[in-house]
Homo-oligomer: A and B are copies of this chain.
Amino acid sequence: MTGIDMDAIDRRILAILQENGRLSNQEIAERVNLSPSPCLRRIRRLEESGVICGYVALLDAQRLGLDLLAYVNVRLEKRGVPLESSAALRVRTTHAEFFRASVQAWPEVVACHAMTGEMDYLLRVRVEDMAHFSRFVQDQLLHHPSVIDVKTSFSLETIKETTALPIR
C-alpha cells in the first residue's frame, strides 16, 4: 500500500525529476551514472508504482492575472437531512459528500483539505481580484446549502512555494 522498494539511485532520479520534469532520459542517466536503458526502466517503474503521479507545467499566476490568493476556512452543516444530490438518480448524500463534489467542480479552488480544529475544511482559492473573490464567496460558498460559516485570510506575499517534496 505504501512505498515500493527504492534505492539511492531511484531517490536521486525522483529528486532530479521533481525539479525538472522535462530532462531527457539521457541527461538523467548521465547524472545518476547509468546508461539510458536501465534509467528509463527505473523511471517507468516509478511511474507505474504511482510514486511519480504525473508531469506538469507550472504557470505564473500573476502573469495570468490571478493576483489574489486566499485561504478560506469553511465550517459545514453536520446535522439535518442529507440532500438529494442528483435529480436523476435520487441518491442520498451527506453534507460532506455534497460539499466535496462541489469543491471538485470549482476551478478557483486549487486545494482543499479536511482539517483538525474548529473549521472543517481549508480551501486554497486563486482568483483575479477581490471582486471575483467576493462573487465566489457570495454566490458559491455562502450559497451552498452545506456551508455554515467561512473565515478568510489573504496572502500578502508568497515567500516560498514548491512542488518538490523533501526526500530523505
Contacts and interface: CB of A to CB of B under 8 A. Distances in A.
Interface of A: 2-4, 14, 17-22, 49-66, 69, 71, 100, 103-104, 107-117, 121-122, 126-128, 153-168
Given A21-B21, A21-B57, A115-B156, 16 more contacts: A3-B64, A17-B57, A18-B57, A20-B54, A20-B56, A21-B55, A21-B56, A50-B63, A52-B57, A52-B60, A55-B56, A56-B56, A66-B165, A103-B159, A110-B163, A122-B155
A115 B71 contact: yes
Contacts of A164: 56, 110
Contacts of A127: 166
Contact of A116 (B107, B156, B165): B156
B156 A63 contact: no
A17 B56 CA distance: 6
Given A18-B56, A21-B57, A57-B21, A63 B2 contact: yes
Given A56-B58, A165-B61, A117 B157 contact: no
Given A110-B164, A111-B161, A114-B156, A55 B52 contact: no
A60 B62 CA distance: 27
Contacts of A60: 50-53
11 contacts: A2-B62, A17-B56, A21-B22, A21-B56, A55-B55, A59-B165, A71-B115, A107-B166, A108-B166, A110-B165, A111-B161
Given A65-B2, A163-B163, A115 B59 contact: no
